Amino acid sequence: MFTFSDDQQALIEAARATAQAELAPTVKADDEAELFRKDLFQRLGAAGLCGVPTAEQWGGLGLGYVEYALVIEEIAKVAPAYAVAVAVSGLPQVTLAQFGNDEQRARWMPGLAAGELLGAFALSEPGSGSDAGSLRTTAVREGNTYRLNGTKFWITHGGYADVYVVMARTGGPGPKGISAFLVPAGTPGLSFGKKEEKMGLRASPTVEMILEDAVIPVENRIGNEGNGFLVAMSALDSGRITIAATALGISQAALDCAGRYAVARKQFDQAIIDFQAVGFMLADMAVRIEQARLLTHKAAWLKDQRMPFSHIAAMAKCAATDCGMSVTTDAVQVLGGYGYTREYPLERLMRDAKVMQIVEGTNQVQRVVIARHLKRGWD
């Protein structure tokens, strides 16, 4: 738990080398152009980085979430948008692994794990974000098909993905009336609306998704009717570990940049790191990262042990993403005016860090999950 095996260390180094070679050259320009390059994602897949925890039988590396978190952190150090791409494309994989049948797994998992296919996850709607159980998209059974109607919001990879896990209502109101479906790209009636103009994570497309009489075969339902909320929450429990890992990568990259600057930059005839105000700031940043990393790896380890982990994943998501925001903010401060310019990556990392406190459940929702877990223990 506290040291990495030789295999884990080799995986870290491979992920680092791939991210540097494939993602570093265009990360700045792609942020400015708001450009997502599917070919770069596919190259991460070719290096084995898109299906780390997926079973070898289904085309993955068959490793655990600890290894997955290590890989995602390395990608995020270079290009957070692609760490999120790997994380989000992992949601259909973990969903099918847990709730799918063998036909669905055989159809989608090898391509997703290889990064040849890009996955997406469609839960949120214009009127239901944190209150996911109130979603209004409908799926009406008609013989051997379902007809889907509704609008999904904030869809990472909307219009780029090859397959979408879509939560839609098949029954009455509330969480128990929801089912989960696989909706392939190209399904008639599936279209995409506005692409969001975001503060950060600009190379990651966030798009409105429209379902207008989109008809899919009944075989595309994941699990039973009415278990869609469970499917979504289970996927997000795992996803929150990957968002935490992304925030760790952002934090570490910001600390390394600020630290190197503080060693090289001289004012009043000494390196600014030797001023206690700056040195302590860097030390506090390192403490926060180390705390968040331990919690993230604990959540991943619990999942790998098949032990209850959702409340620890929520803690890790809060800790790592709050860490990301505070560390990137302080890193900008260490560089002063230079930190505020686009000459350095820190302003971009700070913008990217902000959304990590929001995606896959706001940090307020994480605290709801944690508080409810605590309450159950005290009842």
Q: Which residue in this structure is represented by tokens 């770069």? A: 40
Torsion angle in degrees (nearest 10) through CA of 181, 58, 81, 240: 70
Q: Is 236 in the site for ligand CAA (CB under 6 A)?
A: yes
Which residue from 203, 255, 258 is spatially nearest to 83, judged by alpha carbons? 203
Nearest to 65 by CA among 57, 55, 53, 54: 53
Burial class of residue 354, CB neighbours in 10 A (0-12, 13-18, 19+):
middle
HSE, CB side, 13 Å, CA atoms: give it for residue 188. Answer: 4
CA atoms within 13 A on the CB side of 20: 7
DSSP element (H, E) containing 146: strand 145-156
Does 130 sit near ligand CAA (CB under 6 A)?
A: yes
For position 224 contacting ligand CAA by CB under 6 A, the verdict is no
- Interface residue with ligand CAA among 132, 178, 302, 320 (CB under 6 A) is 132
Q: List the one residue from 97, 215, 233, 286 that touches ligand CAA (CB under 6 A).
A: 233
Residue least distant from ligand CAA (Cβ): 361
CA 15 – CA 73 distance, rounded (Å): 9
Choosing from 67, 73, 208, 360, the catalytic residue is: 360
Catalytic site includes residue 103: no
x/- map, 292-331, ligand CAA, by CB under 6 A: ------------------x---------------------
Stretch that binds ligand CAA, among 52-60, 123-131, 165-173, 347-355 (CB under 6 A): 123-131
18, 93, 156, 246: residue in contact with ligand CAA (rule CB under 6 A)? 156
Residue 242 binding ligand CAA, by CB under 6 A = no
Shortest Cβ distance from residue 165 to ligand CAA (Å)? 10
Whole-number Å distance between alpha carbons of 129 and 252: 30
- When asked if residue 371 is in the footprint of ligand CAA (CB under 6 A), the reply is no
Q: Is 121 in the site for ligand CAA (CB under 6 A)?
A: yes
Q: How far is CA 66 from CA 100, 150, 300, 314, 357, in A?
A: 23, 37, 5, 16, 21
Q: Can you tell me which of 68, 229, 301, 344 binds ligand CAA, judged by CB under 6 A?
A: 229
**Contact flag: residue 68 with ligand CAA (CB under 6 A):** no
If binding is defined by CB under 6 A, does position 237 make contact with ligand CAA?
yes
164 binds ligand CAA (CB under 6 A): no
Size of the site for ligand CAA (CB under 6 A): 24
In the chain, beta strands by DSSP E:
119-122, 138-142, 145-156, 163-169, 178-184, 190-195, 206-217, 221-222, 266-267, 270-271
Interacting residues with ligand CAA (CB under 6 A): 88, 121, 123-124, 130, 132-133, 154-156, 175, 229-230, 233-234, 236-237, 310, 359-361, 365, 368-369
Would you please indicate which residues are annotated as catalytic (active-site) residues?
A: 360
